[in-house]
Amino acid sequence: MLYVYSYIINKMITDIKDILVGHWTDLDNKTGCTALISKNPLVASCDIRGGAPGTRDIALLDPLATAQSINGILLSGGSAFGLDATSGVVKFLEDQKIGLKFANYHPIPLVPSAVIFDLSVGSSEVKPRLEEGYIAAKNATKKLILGNVGVGTGCTVGKILGTKYAMRGGIGSHTIVFNDGVMVSSLVAVNSLGSIYDPDTSEILAGPNKKGQILDTIDLLLKSTTPKTRLENTTIGIVATNASISKLDCKKLAMGANDGLAMSVRPSHTSSDGDLFFGISTSEKETKISIEQLYAASVRSTYKAIINAIKITNK
């Protein structure tokens, strides 16, 4: 049987069974956080390509690490301060008695996290903390809102000439569905130094915007254009599947997502970006679809999610 995929309009990461997503958003101060949670364990790994990542509990996602599953993921604004919000997600899951079970002990929620730098966009005095992480997890539902919400609130792109010429980024999602019901879906917070392209058309969608002209960041770098001040960026996200795959294959899904990022964000994975992706599986469906097909779906769902984020926030 030939396993092919089809696009299903309006399918997002929360259409995968057991996955819920919630936001905490501060529009005034342009920051926020986004929590993905599940009542059932998620097989998970991670792939880091950027030179400046901000993370918590990433080591347990190594395929060689003992932990075989997690209970949630937090994507947060606030740079290193935003990692505090992870404790709020952990607290919420603890209250729900969700976590890794050890004999007679209380369940221990495992929640890896990653952050973006948005302190230069709004007020650097306001960052997601424990309470805000708890709210994001409590808000988690099947109804997913995209754009300048949650971790996407303070996202900007094309910052090589400074924030004055940058355009809005945001959070986007896209899903690929195979004909046996297997889904691969990406959720991406787009906050990049680079310009944004549609790989299918080669159209530039966002970047440094000077006098109404969107510029190519690679061209600017090759012309020796450098930021007058140090700029921190980072595009982070999650690629999820309902296919029953191993922790190692989740790592491969995350690698595919970073490849999709590189196709759309140009350049990506720079020393000023902390680019990384989580790869997760709900283990719902056994499938004969190969990991190469899932990898390819991860690539495409990720760059489509990036395009989705940019189009929503720059209408």
Q: 3-class SS at 297?
A: helix
- pLDDT of 313: 92
Per-residue pLDDT for 32 more than 90? Answer: yes
Per-residue pLDDT for 273 more than 70? Answer: yes
Q: Are 30 and 78 in contact (CB under 8 A)?
A: no
**Mean pLDDT confidence for 210-222:** 92
Alpha-carbon distance of 218 to 211, in angstroms, equals 19
- pLDDT of 283: 97
Q: Does the domain formed by 5-313 have CATH 3.60.70.12?
A: yes
* Alpha helix ranges (H) inside the chain: 85-95, 130-138, 217-222, 247-264, 291-313
Per-residue pLDDT for 33 more than 50? Answer: yes
Name the pLDDT band for 227 (thresholds 50, 70, 90).
low
- pLDDT of 7: 40
What are the tens digits of pLDDT across the range 128-173? 999 999 999 999 999 999 999 999 999 999 998 888 899 999 999 9
Alpha-carbon distance of 244 to 86, in angstroms, equals 27
Break the chain into its structural domains and give their ranges: 5-313
Residue tagged 């997503």 (tokens): 21
What are the tens digits of pLDDT across the range 176-203? 999 999 999 999 999 999 999 999 999 9
- pLDDT of 8: 43
Per-residue pLDDT for 243 more than 90? Answer: yes
- Compute, in degrees rounded to 10, the torsion defined by CA atoms 59, 255, 157, 26: -50
> What does DSSP assign to residue 197?
E
What are the tens digits of pLDDT across the range 39-65? 999 999 999 998 889 999 999 999 999
